[in-house]
Amino acid sequence: MTHPNPFKTTATLDEILLDTATIIELSPQDRKIAENRYRRLKTHIEASALAPFLIDGESLIYAQGSIATSTTIVRGTDDDERFDLDAVVEIDVPEDWSASEPLDRLEKALQKFPGVLKIIRCTRCVQLQFASMHMDVTILDRRARIMGARPGEIFHSPDDGKAYRVPSNPWGFTDWFRSKVKPDQRQFVELLEKRRQTGSKSRLIEVEGEVVAKADQQDLPAAIPSRLDAQEAVALKLLKRNLNLHYERLLVKQPPSIYLTKFTGDFGYIDGGLSTQLYNLALSLAGILRGHIANGTRPEECNPSYSRDRINDRWPQQGEAGVEDMKELAGALEYLANRIQEMASASLEDISRGIDELFGESIGKIQRRILKERYDRRDNVAPISMRPRSGEIVPPAESTRETVREVPRHRFHPFVMGDDDED
C-alpha cells in the first residue's frame, strides 16, 4: 500500500518529536525501579496463599502490555508523573473456582506489598498503586496447556454483572509485535540514544526499605530494546500520548492501547522520517475507522498469536454508542495528522505551540529547554547542517566531513524558548 508524503522536509520537526518521545518514556532510573517491583512481585506471590497454584517449570510472572513492547509513556496532564505498567501471574486455576475467585485471591495475596500506597480490585486485574506509577496485575489460567506461545484465560469480574473467562495471550502478542518492528535502523537508533542523554526524565520514586528481589523470573525488556529502537515504536508512543491527552477531557471511552499497538505492528515502517511515520499512522487508522462507519461495520481485531484473543472486545461499544466511539477516535487522529502536516513547514515558534497542544505544555516546556541548550542561535550566525534523511543535526566541526545540508533558519522567540520562570 502506498502512503502519502506531503512533506518537502521534516528535519526540524523530526528532531523536536524525537526529543518529545524521550521525555515521555521511562528513563533508565525509572526502568530500574519498575523492574525491582516486578521482581518483588514473584517473591511476594510465592510467599502468599496463591503459592500452591504456581506450577514449577510451568508458571511464569512477566511484564505485558506497553512495558513489554517498549512503548510505555507518561500519562496525565496535571503533573505528567504517572506510568501505567502491567504484569501477568500464571497459575493453574482449580476447576471448582468461580470466575471471580482468582482476582479475589490475588487481591488478598498482594496485601502489604512493599512500597504500595493503595490496592484496587479492578474488573480484570488488581492494581498496585505506587508514587508515580501503578502496576496492573492479571491472573492467567494456563491449566489447559493450550498449544502456542503461552495462551490461556484471564477473568472478567465486574462489581455488577456476571463474571466470565476471556481467552488471552499476552506473551504471544509481545513476540508478534517485536517481530513486526523493522530492526535495521542503525542511524535512527544512534540518534535516539543521543537524544536520551539530554531528554530522559526520571519520575519514579524508590521507597526507602524496598528490597530488590533476586528471584529467577522473566526479566523486563529494556526501556526501549535495541530491536525496538525503531521509528514505528517511537511514533506509537507519540500517538498514544496525544490520545491520552485528548480523551482525558472527554467522558467517552478511550480505545485500548493494545488496539493501537496491533495497528502499528500491521502498519509497518514508512520511509521518510518520524513525522511522516506519525502522520501516516494516524491518517491510515482514521481512514479505516471512517470506512467502518460508512459501511455499518466495526473493527474486530484478534491477537495474531492466538485468534480467540480479541484485541478490542470492549471497544467500540455496541450500536450507536460504538459509532460515536469510532467517530471520536477518527476525528482525533485526523486532527493530529493535520497538525503534523502544518508543523512540518512552520516556524519553531509555531512548532512549539503545536507540541504544547498535542503532547502537553509541561512536556513542551522541557523540550524547548533541551532544544535551546542544544542550538541557541540567537547570537550564532554560523550555519547549522544536517545529515539528509536522518534529521540529525551536525555540529559545525563535523559539517565538512560528509554530505550535509543547512537546516532552515528559525528564530527562537524569547517567550517560546524561555526558562521555567518566564510567564
Give the mean pLDDT of the chain.
84
What mean pLDDT is predicted for residues 42-51? 93
* Greatest C-alpha distance within the chain: 76
Is the pLDDT at 407 greater than 60, yes or no?
Answer: no
pLDDT at 277: 97
pLDDT at 57: 85
What mean pLDDT is predicted for residues 78-99? 87
Of residues 14 and 223, more confidence is placed in: 14
Tens digits of per-residue pLDDT, 17-33? Answer: 999 999 999 888 888 88
CA–CA distance, 158 with 148 (Å, rounded to integer): 29
Which neighbouring-strand residues pair with 85?
135
What mean pLDDT is predicted for residues 380-404? 49
pLDDT at 211: 43
Is the pLDDT at 160 greater than 70, yes or no?
Answer: yes
pLDDT band, residue 172 (cuts 50/70/90): very high
| 299 in Cβ contact with 213 (< 8 Å) | no
pLDDT at 42: 86
Of residues 4 and 250, more confidence is placed in: 250
pLDDT band, residue 238 (cuts 50/70/90): very high
Tens digits of per-residue pLDDT, 308-340? Answer: 999 999 999 999 999 999 999 999 999 999 999
Is the pLDDT at 55 greater than 80, yes or no?
Answer: yes
The three cell numbers locating residue 81: 508523573
pLDDT band, residue 404 (cuts 50/70/90): low
What mean pLDDT is predicted for residues 74-85? 73
The sign one gets for the Cα dihedral 30, 192, 277, 19 is positive
CA–CA distance, 175 with 257 (Å, rounded to integer): 16
The three cell numbers locating residue 190: 544512534
The sign one gets for the Cα dihedral 342, 348, 349, 354 is positive
Which neighbouring-strand residues pair with 303?
306
What mean pLDDT is predicted for residues 71-79? 76
Tens digits of per-residue pLDDT, 124-148? Answer: 999 999 988 899 999 999 999 999 9
CA–CA distance, 326 with 319 (Å, rounded to integer): 11
**Which one-letter amino acid corresponds to residue 342?**
E
Tens digits of per-residue pLDDT, 262-299? Answer: 999 999 999 999 999 999 999 999 999 999 999 999 99
SS3 annotation, the chain:
CCCCCCCCCCHHHHHHHHHHHHHHCCCHHHHHHHHHHHHHHHHHHHCCCCHHHCCCCCCCEEEECHHHHCCCCEECCCCCCEEEEEEEEEECCCCCCCCCHHHHHHHHHCCCCCCCCEEEECCCCEEEEECCEEEEEEEEECCCCCCCCCCEEEEECCCCCCCEEEEECHHHHHHHHHHHCCCCCHHHHHHHHHHHHHHCCCCCCCCCCCCCCCCCCCCCCCCCCHHHCCHHHHHHHHHHHHHHHHHHCCCCCCCCHHHHHHHHHHHCCCCCCHHHHHHHHHHHHHHHHHHHHHHCCCCCCEECCEEEEECCCCCCCCHHHHHHHHHHHHHHHHHHHHHHHHHCCCCHHHHHHHHHHHHCHHHHHHHHHHHHHHCCCCCCCCCCEECCCCCCEECHHHCCCCCCEECCCCCCCCCCCCCCCCC
The three cell numbers locating residue 10: 521534516
The three cell numbers locating residue 70: 517498549
Measured CA angle at 309 (ends 140, 157), to 5 deg: 50
Closest CA to 178 of 217, 236, 133: 236
pLDDT at 418: 40
Is the pLDDT at 345 greater than 90, yes or no?
Answer: yes
How many CB atoms within 10 Å of residue 346?
A: 17
| 308 in Cβ contact with 167 (< 8 Å) | yes
Is the pLDDT at 395 greater than 80, yes or no?
Answer: no
Angle, helices 348-359 vs 11-24, to 10°: value is: 30
Tens digits of per-residue pLDDT, 192-234? Answer: 888 888 888 888 776 544 444 433 445 544 322 334 788 999 9
